[in-house]
Amino acid sequence: KVDFCQALLRSFQERPERVILLDPMDPRKAPAFGRTGSSPEDRSFAAHGKGAAGEAILRLAATLAVDDTVLEHRASPLGQVSINEIACTVCGTCAVACPTGAIHSEQHAESVVISFDPNLCSGCERCVAACPERAAGAITCTRAVDLRSLRMGRQRVAEGGAACCTRCGSTI
């Protein structure tokens, strides 16, 4: 993880030796680049939970005035999912397999929409493993940080017709 943090700082044009190890249970030692409060507790981040890594990276980028960076790294705490709409059948299997809710499938009357939130993706690749169309290249997951994508939040990545029963015509 230290290697990732150093690589992230280099991508932000910063010195990688600025990475230090902190005891997450001791907010008195937290750096002051998050919040502006006067007590050590006010300066700390929500150190865990959904979206914490994305929030911390976006705060750091804002503090350092970094607009746009994409960093692929094996130790990235975040993942970036891409769906090829031509190969994807919008079955929603990827959304069911996603343990963080980063991939979401929403059924509408005539269509299914699959969306992705990079702030929630851990890069575990369970979505890829579960996809019945993965051999056709329907979905890929890369361990990466993409600032533009993080700022945009949840985005539609695939949309298609709702699966219907061939006998009665109702949606499945």
Q: What is the per-residue burial (b if ≥16 Cβ within 10 Å, else e) of 47-66?
A: eeeebebbbbbbebbeeeeb
For residue 9, pLDDT beyond 70? yes
pLDDT at 34 over 70: no
> Could you read off the pLDDT of 51-61 as tens digits, one per residue?
888 998 999 99
Cβ atoms of residues 135 and 106 within 8 Å:
no
**Average pLDDT of the segment spanning 73-83:** 95
* pLDDT bracket for residue 36 (50, 70, 90): very low
Confidence label for 46 from pLDDT (cuts 50, 70 and 90): low
